[in-house]
Amino acid sequence: MSAQMTQDELANKAMVSVGTVSRFERGEDISLSKAVSILCALGIGKNLEGVIPDPEERPSYHLSHEKTKKRVRHSKGEQAETEWKWGDER
């Protein structure tokens, strides 16, 4: 993607250093807040909505609300229908 701006222009627009823009271009580590600033300055910050969840929603909101299956427990006197084996018995 080409934004047709220099590193200096992008750094000024994103309010980060030119070194940060350079590290970002090379794929090196920078802070998340600086990466977001750069992406917003490039006009692609709105794409982050699908990646970063809404902080107002609880994480459990995103889980399925289906009932989970529970383990089957046999009563003490009741034994399983088939006895478990390793598979190498004859």
State the pLDDT confidence band at 37, using cuts at 50, 70 and 90. very high
- Residue of higher predicted confidence among 70 and 79: 70
Q: How far apart are CA 60 and CA 87, in angstroms?
A: 41
pLDDT in tens, 6-27: 999 999 999 999 999 999 999 9
Q: How far apart are CA 24 and CA 35, in angstroms?
A: 7
* Of 20-29, 37-46, 54-63, highest mean pLDDT: 20-29
Question: Quick one: what percent of the chain has pLDDT higher than 90?
Answer: 40
Contact 38, 28 (CB under 8 A): no
Specify the residue for token string 């459990």.
60
Structure tokens at 44: 């692609």
Q: Which of 86, 84, 66, 88 is nearest to 74 (CA)?
A: 84
